[in-house]
A and B are shown apart, each in its own frame.
Chain A
């Protein structure tokens, strides 16, 4: 097996034993990227020279020593561009490192390049990128999911051993499911957001894409913890998340919410997830039917709260200090107007307008404040459920990857791609998606990955990783290689 197919855990063993060198690893990966990325288009920017240089002095004794990692273009990496796949940030060079980037550097990781995404993390297919869309490594005619589609495709196509993404309503888990890799959305406050260009500050979390559940635990060990620069990051202790991945989950109580197995869900997805539930039973877990009664309101609540925050978060892109500025403005209002009209794509504009509207006087009570109340009910749903169960099993996405261009005309259709992931962000709890099967090939569509979502309570990363790992080891879906 070529080293590019190694998990991070396997790679580390080889590096530590000096079977291979970090330089060889980087070279192999760069060759892979050169060979297939023109088709997948996962990367926006690969810094080959810097990665080779870092490989030479990599300290393989560190937790991620010598491991190349890809970074979603929404995180500030000092000295690198950080465009959020938006024209408005063209030319912006990050003057500082995001806290998570600093943590990766300290852990010895090699920063390989920047991955594509939906503009400002707004989208579910990575088609909203100003720099062109990314394709699914399992079928180039299909989308990789989004918004962290570049990171998911890079890991899914084995163009990266791991990648960082951000998840506001499913932007890690949904593309992970569609690209056949593992993606984890940590509990809100578990990982510092400092340096993550904010979409919806109260929902955003940074998390890893990996090939295995154990790798996700490894990365979470590095990324987690309090950051004095992020006031909302938690002081909650971080356990060693790799320590309890024993494969033994006997007696674990897993909830299955009836609201997540509804009409409209792809029958193949439904079947794969139900098979996974049966597998858990086999492994000794207790399956409990539960109810999350306010689930149906999650999408509406999300598109009010997230866009409200986004309308403020994206106000700073005005052409005054960085990024692009409209040519020859006649005055400050003209500069604002044209810079933003030319710089933002249609989906970003749609959300800014929506967010501005729901906060406007006369409407804020009916929309923003009302949505906050419903969010609290959704939160209560989960808290009540976690009094009965250790974790919750659901599909990650109602369908497998869809064809490029298929939903771009209908924002609402696109929004429904996140129907199973959004409530997790609204409740602040953690969730992981891992492969649980494939669709049957049909016509010109090859088999496509299906994702299982495991939702855990606040600070329940250890539980969902244990549950995910046990399933993964007993099934082996993660060993499947994409055709590319």
Chain B
């Protein structure tokens, strides 16, 4: 029997704000334990929360980017449970009136893992629907040493969005693509840095299997301790195989929470799902309901960025780059921005895209380290387009420009310093060609005998004689004419 998996994700995203969700403490990763704290985020007696305006706006912005319905009125609730990580032993969250409902994440081709992009099973531009997005406060972090435990409250009170998807994903690759695409949009909106290693994006996975064609969901398991997008994919692969094996041998899946062990590459039982926890939600009496129509929504609308898909389409039409190049360029806002500046003054924008994607990113995966002023790309490309240097020279200039440029010379200065000119004067070129033919009797004979490749040897001779300054294309044409006339 053939089985299929049903996957839904719950993603927690720390918002990029200056201060915490309900107090004035700095919202910053790291720091010595309990240095980013105050009476409010420590839950001292008598303190009250004040909602972070930017966090609300950024959650609405996320909702707008993901095409959610933004509630005109919403409220905060208390979620009650005892845990040392929770300063108040209740978390201020949103229960039945979240900020955003509905919406979807579109799985574009580049969001899939590289090895899955060409697979037939990969559904490009699949929409994974969202249930809701709500805003809450993050909890602290416990540390356990031998015989004692400590709590670091630096993280407590960090603004946290919970994004809940429908169980719309069917493969580990789709879960991978969902997280990649979601992360891309969060970064696009400057809503979060979404760094999983820093816990800025955390993901819990729900997965079940069922015979293909069956509508009813199987019993699901939850996977925790997933610290990277690739871990999500690998854990799902493992877990789906495990569940299929159990079911196909006639066994049943027990509803449980499983922990991913990244080193062993397997999931193991963490706890068996007991009765559903009773969180005793009730409206947070310390906070007034939020009315988003009073400016909050319009503030978010102003911040609405050009989204990846729109940017991709615009780059393709405005700069004439290929669809693939447009996808790559739009995968990161910083890259797209840099490209637009780099290509601004170029006559042939495609050349700039080639320089950036083939020549630069092929060697350096990280654009943030590039020290080259973007306009230099145009300057160099225009020299090439105008035929003032040849492509080989251009590559050399580019190499010097990006990685060996102690004098911080502009492309024009490098060209001058190198004495690069391209000789197109046919008189001089013909003389070099004649000399090459005279010296290369063997190549001439080969060419005459039908070995077309022999032309390259002659061409190389000419380039050598010209000290690399001959226009290779013109040289080729002249040589061909001369050889035919022999």
Contact = CB atoms under 8 A, between A and B. Distances in A.
Nearest to A322: B44
Interface of B: 39, 42-51, 78, 80, 82, 84, 87-90, 149, 151, 278, 280-282, 285-288
A315 B39 contact: no
A397 interface: no
Contact of B286 (A82, A94, A197, A201): A201
B4 to A, nearest CB: 33
Contacts of A231: 48-51, 286-288
A89 B84 CA distance: 18
A196 B278 CA distance: 28
Interface stretch (A33-41, A104-112, A212-220, A353-361): A353-361
Nearest to A74: B46
B45 A89 contact: yes
A438 interface: no
Contacts of A318: 82, 84, 89
B45 A82 contact: yes
Nearest to B277: A361
A96 B47 CA distance: 9
A196 B285 CA distance: 14
A360 B45 contact: no
A198 interface: yes
Contacts of B44: 76, 94-96, 321-322
A160 B318 CA distance: 79
Contacts of B82: 315, 318, 336
B147 to A, nearest CB: 11
A336 B83 CA distance: 10
A142 to B, nearest CB: 31
B209 to A, nearest CB: 30
B282 A194 contact: no
A360 B50 contact: no
B285 A368 contact: no
A312 B78 contact: yes
Nearest to A227: B48
Contacts of A322: 44-45
Contact residues of B: prevailing secondary structure: loop
Interface residues of A, number: 43
Contacts of B45: 76, 82, 84, 89, 92, 94, 197, 316-317, 322
Contact of A201 (B80, B87, B281, B285): B285
A390 interface: no
Contact of A359 (B43, B280, B285): B280
A228 B50 CA distance: 8
B90 A312 contact: yes
Contacts of A320: 84, 151
A356 B280 contact: yes
Nearest to A356: B280
B39 A194 contact: no
A84 B46 CA distance: 11
A231 B76 CA distance: 12
Contacts of B90: 312, 315
5 contacts: A75-B46, A76-B44, A76-B46, A92-B45, A228-B50
A195 B46 contact: yes
Interface of A: 75-76, 82, 84, 89, 92, 94-96, 98, 193-198, 200-202, 228-232, 308-309, 311-312, 315-318, 320-322, 332, 336, 356, 359-361, 364, 368
Contact of B80 (A75, A200, A228, A312): A312
Given A95-B39, A361-B278, A229 B48 contact: yes
A311 B84 CA distance: 17
Contacts of B43: 316, 321
B155 to A, nearest CB: 15
A156 to B, nearest CB: 26
B80 A321 contact: no
Given A96-B39, A197-B45, 18 more contacts: A75-B46, A89-B45, A95-B44, A193-B48, A230-B48, A231-B48, A231-B49, A309-B282, A312-B280, A315-B90, A316-B45, A316-B87, A316-B89, A318-B84, A320-B84, A320-B151, A322-B44, A364-B280
A320 B153 CA distance: 12
A374 B90 CA distance: 26
A193 B45 CA distance: 12
Q: Which of B39, B84, B285 has the most CB of A within 10 A?
A: B285
Nearest to A323: B45
Nearest to B280: A359
Nearest to A203: B285
**Which 10 pairs between the two chains have the least Cβ-Cβ distance?**
A315-B89, A202-B285, A201-B285, A359-B280, A197-B45, A197-B46, A195-B46, A316-B88, A316-B43, A76-B46
A196 B46 contact: yes
Nearest to B24: A229
Contacts of A84: 45
B473 to A, nearest CB: 72
Contacts of A196: 46
B427 to A, nearest CB: 83
Q: Which of B42, B48, B49, B288 has the most CB of A within 10 A?
A: B48
A228 B89 CA distance: 24
A179 B145 CA distance: 55
A315 B45 CA distance: 11
A198 B89 contact: no
A196 B42 CA distance: 16
A98 B285 contact: no
A318 B90 CA distance: 12
A320 B148 CA distance: 12
Contacts of A89: 45
A193 B47 CA distance: 9
A339 B280 CA distance: 22
Contact of B46 (A198, A200, A309): A198
Contacts of A96: 39, 44, 47
Given A231-B287, A321-B43, A332 B84 contact: yes
A332 B286 CA distance: 28
Contacts of A98: 46
A75 B47 CA distance: 10
Contact of A82 (B46, B80, B87, B89): B46
Given A315-B82, A316-B89, A368 B282 contact: yes
A83 to B, nearest CB: 10
B36 to A, nearest CB: 16
A360 B48 CA distance: 24
Contacts of A309: 282, 285
A407 to B, nearest CB: 28
Contacts of B151: 320
A316 B280 CA distance: 16
Nearest to A359: B280
Nearest to A98: B46
Contacts of A232: 285-288
B313 to A, nearest CB: 43
B333 to A, nearest CB: 34
A201 B286 CA distance: 6
Given A316-B87, A332-B84, A308 B282 contact: yes
A76 B42 CA distance: 15
A76 B39 CA distance: 11
Nearest to A337: B82
B88 A315 contact: yes
A160 B280 CA distance: 42
Contacts of A321: 42-44, 87
Contacts of A361: 278, 280
A194 B288 contact: no
A359 B48 CA distance: 22
